[in-house]
Structures are given as structure tokens and as C-alpha cells.
Structure 1
């Protein structure tokens, strides 16, 4: 074998070794990639699809039953949304419509235009209410107090009592509907379109979000609402053989009632159920625990019972996973706005602090970040001494970012923390002279 053949044989051996090494590497690489892909698919399969608008709970995910068409859960104190599902889809609210009727009645009482003792004469329109819904069988000319009719509406969802109140306030149900829509516009309920006072009409529509907003407004402005919405039963007339039973089976007071104790939920004291064939079963509820009040809305549930079970899921989610956290105490000093300039004071500025606290519902155990997003203060020429302590002089906006990256914002007033007394004429004169020469000197320096 000559030298050329020996070299060729040696090269072929080396090539074979390299080929085997490359083949082995590729085989190992394919195994690793296959295992990695499998692990990736396994990890992906273990992730729960929470769906649109569904918030993930710590340690897992949270979803409502398939039968719910729309839902929302909010903090009653701030309106902060904790969960939502199709919350911006307008739907018939059915008898949840009566919350607007109740709100208007409460506002009339608050403004001294009605009293609870005002006697209402049942109109022909009210006495002619169709019998295919809840009612107390009013006859034309019957007289009952506003309070009795209100309770019949709030507890028994009585349609005839609702129309009796509506026609008393506005002359007719149609006139009252105009008032309902005017009120909705004033309150910022952009999706609400009312065509009746009772909710029997399928073309009355509103979103879950706006329904929750209405509930929030009622609870904030009319605390008497809960006094009536929490009544478990009520005998409308002395001669009635049975009392009306509250359609809200979740009332905490039902915990010892045989038929309802499976639905009773700790802290529930309102608000309103609703059903017509076009809407499915609806419920706006509210519950308070340890100083934290939540509002829930469930729309389009398939059964009378499921609307309560799904509401209980919402409340469990809220109370189990969130806590109220004060991130800024009242009367706190803002680092970059410790004082504001004023005019004609003994001093040229006055110390300021936050008027109220800044509180959010935050995930339990989650990390958080708080920052001052914006400050605004009035100019000195608008803040003329004397100025009392506690006088609003500006605002500060705080941003809170939770562990998931979601940002919440709240704006509070900046107020004076002490009285700013007016300066004496002597002090103000010398301050004016000093400022004049300071300005003059500055102008001269600028010439050079």
C-alpha cells in the first residue's frame, strides 16, 4: 500500500469517527428537545384558561359556571373591580330595574318631596298591572303609605306597588320612565335604557357594570336601602294569611330557615333579584365582612338557585383573596409638596397634608408598589390669607401597582395642616419693598 492509499485510509477512518460523533450528538440533541417540548406542553396543559375578564386567584384560577351570561364583583367603597365577565354586554335586568325606582323614591324622601308616611292612592294603571309577575293585588283607589309600598317593592318585588309609587311621583309609569332615564344619565349609567318601572319589559337593558355602579351609588347615598332590602318577610295587610317572603334567599338572616339556609351567606343584607324569560335569572347582591363590603352582579343564570350559588362563588373569591389595605394614612405629608405658597400671610407658605387616607383592596400576600403619580396645587394668588386649617388647596394622585402589574389610582385633596394667619400691614409692606428691590437687582444682573 503506497503512501497515498495510506493517507486516504487514515482520512476515511477520521471521517467515520466524526460522522459517528455527529450522529451521537444529534441523537442526544433530539432527545433533549423532545423532552423539553413535552415538558413545555405539560406546563401549558397545567395552566387554567381563565377566559376573558376573569381574574386569577392566588394559588389557582377562578371562573363562574357556564350558565352565567355576565357578572361583575366590585368593592363598594371605591368601585374597584375585582372580577368581571362580559360586564359590558347590555342585557335585560328584569326586576333589578326596581333598584332605580327604589333609588328615586329614596332621593325624593331625602329631598323632602315625599315622606315614608305619605299616603298613596292606587291608580287605575297600578291596579291593572298584569298578573304574570309578583304583586300584592292592589285595587284602584286603595290607599297605602309610601313605606308599605316601598317594602312591597323591595321585599316582594311587587309590580303593582312599584307602579303605584311611580304614578304617584310622576303622574304615570311613562312619566316615571322619563325620570328614570334622566336619572341614569345624571348618574353616568351610559348603557341604561329603561322602558318600564318594574323590569317586566324585555327592551329595558343595562350592563352588569352599570348595574353594579347603580348599587354602589345607592349604598353610598341612601343607607336606608339596606334597612328595607334586608327584611326577610313582611305582612302587607293585617288580613293577609301569609307574609311576603324576600326573594333574596342569600340573606344572612335565612341561616336558620329550613328552605333557605343552604343559600344564606354571612354578611348578605341586599339587594335585588330579577327574572323574565328573555333575561334568565339575575341577582345583584351585597355582603359585608370585617368592614369590607362587596357588590356582585350575576346576569343570565339558568336557574333560580344557580344565581345564588354563583354569587356565593364571587363573594368567596373576593373575601378569601383580597384585603383592605391603607397605603397612605390620612393627614400624611407628601414628600414633594410639603408646603404651598400663599398671598398676604404672616408666612409666605403653609404646610399641607392629605385630607383622607388612600385605601385599596389588594391581593393577600402580594407585593405592591406605591408612587405619587401627580400633584396639583392652586396658585398663590388664589390662596389669600387668612386660610383656616383643613382648607383644600390642591390634589395628589397615588398609583398602586400590585404583583400582577395592575395599576389602581386614587386622587385625594391636599389640605392645610394649620391656620395661615394674615400678615400685618407692616410685615406686608416690608415684604413688598424687599421683593421690589430683589426683582430690581435681578433685572440689573440680567443686563450683564
Structure 2
């Protein structure tokens, strides 16, 4: 047997060690089949539950680590389409001609079998994307907006940056590529932006089934089996959950089964994300654990009533008014999700009033004069949440007449002169 010299053996060991480190770095972003222990007993790699209204994190498991989102990627595509419609660069009736790129979508995923040159409305393609997760419909919309899917990918990453999704790296409009990465926390943040800026999104995400063409034999069935509307369907009622009306499922082998969902019960809307569940059904069972925890544990409480007086900012200075100051109050209430039976405590972080140069009479009751920020800290998790509320004028302040303003200026002049003399001694 050939004996390997000691020096060469050390070199070989070192090379093996280096290669293992490199391989470890290469898989640092995600690991297929990875699971993370958690107190809810969810069999997932990553998860998060937030309050849709405030973004307050109610529960999280490894939520900052990026994973491939699979078809949940389409939430960004759907968001951009809604932004284009809001900006009037698109409308629901705009006719989209199917590009060669869209018609060449690989047949191994969800699609509606578009042919090059087919023409369909933005609305039909959007529903195909939202309900049936159709990859070809998604690319048709992407290439219509940006000329090509890759051109659209640039827009996706630019939009992600604008929304503060720091973990997001989009490489396709559909999620078919496992090089697209995003954390559960950022996916929940994207979902929150969609719901708050475009609540009509839910009108499409909750459609249980949709027939794309009259000649189609069967309608598309929404991949979101948790929809409350499925409670009367024998095959799906085991997954249906009260209040669920969105949002997006996903699957590729590298990502496992993923789901971003939302449910509303009473005055509480929750947003959830689970990544790397074991099966189509498992992702909904794991999500139900999050919703059960959220609705059983938390309630919405008003911690600051509307029209409240802030002790550190009771008035604001007004220029050229009959009165030099105006009493101010909070414009709206401040409500939080807190654990049931717990009295929440908030701390005043600071107030910011508009400069006097911007508060020029006449001032009307209800005019914004500044903001006040409070911080709430969960006693158990120690997580903090800051909320900012507008401060408004509580009364009208009429503009002073020229005579009053003249004498006020004279008074101010002599007051300043007197103070200057005092400062000399």
C-alpha cells in the first residue's frame, strides 16, 4: 500500500476542509428540507404572523432568513400590476398580446396554455395569475409592462428596494427559479403593502374558481384551499378557515410548499407566511396553527383615544393669528394587538410640530400641525413597535387684522430691545 507523506496528507485535509466551508457558504441561503424548532409545533423552516394594520409581529420562527418563495413570488408581480393600474399606465380592460416569451413558458408548472399572439385583458390574465398561479399569464403581463420578463425582474427588485424588502432578490416574475430569495418577514411586509395600498386585491385572491375561456372544459381552482368559501366543498372543507380571503401558495423542490395567507375576524386582520412545509395540505395546517394562536391570544385594544391631549405638546404656535397659539389633539386613536387580559403600556417617544412659518392663520380645526410617536413593548417577547399619530388643531384660529398685527410687531420689537438691554448686564 502506498504511504502518503505527512505534509501531503495535511494539505489534502486542508483542501477538504476548505471545500466543506465553501459548500456550506453556498447553501447558507437555504437548505432543502430544513426545519426550525418552534413552540407551536409547526413543521416548517420559517414562519411569521403579523397584524395587517400595524405590521406588529405576533409570532415568528427564523423569519429573517431568506428562502426561495416559489410562486409566492407572484405577489410582487401582482403588486406591480396594481401599481401600474393606479398610475393609469394600465387598466383592467387593457388588451395584452401574448409574447413569444410567455407562450414558451415551460409546461412543468401551472399555466393556461397561451399561444403567441393570443389577446386577453389585463383582468383575465390577472385572475389567471391570482387564482390559477398561471406562469404564462404572469410572464405575459410582465413582458407587456417591461418588454421582457428580465426587464420586469429589474422593476421587481427596484420596487422591493423602495418597499424596504432588504432580503429580496428576484430573478423571475413567476418564482420558477430557486435563485429568487426572500425572507418570511419581508414577504409578510410585501403582503401588508398590497392589502393596505390595494385592498381590491382581495376581490381577486378570494375567487374560488374561474373559467378563463368559454371553451375550457374545467375552471381553474384556487390553490388557496384555506379560503373560507371552501367550507361547503367536501374535498376542501378540512382546510377552510374562517375569514381567509387570500393570498398566494407556492411550490418548487428547493423551496418545499409555501404559503402567504391572510384572514380577517372581527376587527383583526392577520397576515401569515410559512416556508418549506411538507405537502400541499400541510402548509395550510401549519398556517392554521398561526391563526389559532393569533386569534386565541390577542385582542385589539385602544391605548390612546382620538382627540387626546399630549402632555408635552398641548399647543402649537401660530403666525399672524388672532391668537398666538392653538390647542392641539391627536387626530385618531392608537390601537394595538395585545395579549388578552393584559393592560398595555405605551411610552411617548417624541413629538414633532410644524415650524411656525408653516402654521400661518387662518387655521381650521382638524388641520395637521405635527405628529406624536409612541412605543409599545411586548412584556413577553420584548419586541417593540412604534406608532405615529397626527396632531391636529382643536379649534379655528382666525387671521388677525393689520392693526392688531402692527401693534403686536411693535410690542415684539420693544420686548426684544428690553431683553437685549438686560443681556448687557
8 Å Cα contact 2:47-2:63 kept in structure 1: yes
Distance 1:71 1:438, change over 3 A: same
The secondary structure found in structure 1 opposite 2:85 is helix
Write the deviation string for residues 374-414 of structure 1: whole angstroms up to 9, x where unpaired.
11223333322222322222211112344435443211121
TM-score (ref. length: structure 1): 0.84
Question: What's the counterpart of residue 85 of structure 2?
Answer: 109
CA deviation after TM superposition for structure 1 residue 261, in Å: 0.3
Q: 1:445 to 1:328 in 2, by over 3 A?
A: same
1:424 to 1:257, Cα distance in 2 relative to 1, 3 A: same
Shift of 1:53: 10
Rg larger in structure: 1
Match of 1:231 among 190, 193, 207: 207
- Counterpart of 1:322 (choices 285, 291, 298) is 298
Q: 1:376 aligns with which of 349, 352, 358?
A: 352
Within 1, Cα distance between the matches of 2:423 and 2:157?
63
Task: Provide the residue aligned with 2:387 in structure 1.
Answer: 410
Aligned residue among 236, 242, 246 for 1:266: 242
Structure 2, unmatched stretches of 5+, are 1-34
In the TM superposition, residue 169 of structure 1 has moved relative to its aligned partner by 1.3
Aligned to 1:333: 309
Aligned to 1:426: 403
Q: C-alpha distance in 1, partners of 2:419/2:151?
A: 69
Q: Is the 8 A contact 2:44 2:277 kept in 1?
A: yes
Answer yes or no: is the 8 Å Cα contact 1:53–1:83 preserved in 2. Answer: no
- Identify the match of residue 306 of structure 1 among 282, 291, 303: 282
SS in 1 for 2:276: strand
The aligned counterpart of 2:13 is none
Aligned to 2:342: 366
1:178-327 aligned at under 5 Å gives the runs 178-327=154-303
Contact persistence 2:353–2:369 (CA under 8 A): yes
Find the residue that maps to 1:340 and give its secondary structure. Answer: strand
Output aligned runs, 1:118-129, within 5 Å: 118-129=94-105
Q: Is the 8 A contact 2:318 2:359 kept in 1?
A: yes
TM-score where L is the length of structure 2: 0.88
The C-alpha deviation readout for 1:88-113, integer Å capped at 9, x for no partner, is: 11110000000111111111112211
259-268 vs 140-149, which moves further: 140-149
Q: Would the aligned equivalents of 1:94 and 1:282 in 2 still touch at CA under 8 Å?
A: yes
Tell whether the 8 Å contact from 2:36 to 2:46 is kept in structure 1 after alignment.
no
1:433 to partner: Cα distance:
2.3
Match in the other structure for 1:43: none
Q: Secondary structure at 1:73's aligned position in 2?
A: strand
Find the aligned partners of 1:310 and 1:421 in 2 and give their Cα distance.
59
Residue in 2 that maps onto 1:75: 51
